[in-house]
Amino acid sequence: MSMMKIPETVPDDIIEDLFVPELVRESRSEEASTPSSSPWKDAFRRLRASKGVVLSAILILIMASIAIVGPAMSKYSYDEQNLAHSNLPPKIPGLQWLGFDGKDRQDTDVYQQRNVDTAYWFGTDEFGRDLWTRVWKGMQISLFIALIAALLDLFIGVLYGGLSAYYGGRVDSAMERIIEILMGIPSLIVIVLFAIILEPGILSITLAMIITGWVGMARIVRGQILKLKVQEFVLAARTLGVSNSRIIWKHLLPNAMGPIVVNVMFDLPTAIFFEAFLSFIGLGLQAPLASLGVLINDGFKQMRMFPYKLVIPAVMISLILICFNLLADGLRDALDPKTKK
């Protein structure tokens, strides 16, 4: 710091006026110059600064809300058939300029020809079932599968991987061999076996996920705990006589929560796509039950005559997968200390 040069001819009283001592208050001696911030607050601030992440989170909340209340907005249930209203194109009052005008390829108003007084927002299928209700019912199934995948990761995967890494030795070796065996079994084979024993549907998918859906999370948690359990704070806790369960739940898992949250967010779109794929090939839900995979399969068979049957559910599942992936990418960047600026 450069010091101000004082001429020798300046009187002493003027010098004393220029330099006024700063009063030191003992009450402020322990205050920090900037407010403290926890790593989670830091991550949330970086997450909130990303426009793509915020937009994805808003879209997920909107789609989840409509999936809950959407079927109740229509007077038709997802499996109610009306052959007189079969293959009606989408019609939304006020959005005719977007193509939702209820007209077919020949530019004829099908609603007027059949004297239909109800506007089906997403149209109807070959059995006259309301696609609006079926699409949002399928979205409910997709979000339910995603919730099951998240719960399995958090409860079975985290607990299994944490115990395996913490106790180590023969316990870790035996539990790791079990994980390797489960990872060697393709999930599709497990689904086929349950479909033979039970029937294709949500139960067989859930049971297959219970058997093999958590092994990836278990290996990630195991790697994190192996690194953390040799740290000084864990050794200090053991020296103070802290129990093993308290060390795991109060010290190890909170410090490994970043990779756990990121992995859960990446597993959500994977589970949604897995269910849609199984329903598309006939191993998931079966008609008249509604699923995005079932709707895409039905629309694929008639895409040349009625493209809206394929486009609408395909757009919905693409949108939900993109939003979850963007949110997971944002969480990974926000929780990574190397991305701090």
Question: What is the set of domains in the chain, with CATH numbers?
Answer: 61-75+139-336 (1.10.3720.10)
Q: Mind listing the pLDDT tens digit for each residue in 200-240?
A: 778 888 888 888 888 888 888 888 888 888 888 888 888 88
Given a cut of 70, the residues of the chain with pLDDT beneath it are 1-40, 43, 96-99, 336-341
- pTM of the full predicted structure? 0.76
Distances (CA, A) of 224 to 47, 162, 180, 264: 23, 9, 18, 15
Tell me what pLDDT residue 2 has: 47
Name the token pair of 29.
């001696």
Q: How many CA atoms lie within 13 A of 329 on its CB side?
A: 12
Tell me what pLDDT residue 24 has: 54
Distance of CA 218 to the CA centre of its chain: 18
Cα–Cα distance measured from residue 195 to residue 209, given in angstroms and rounded to the nearest whole number? 13
Tell me what pLDDT residue 285 has: 78
Cα Rg of the chain (Å, integer): 30
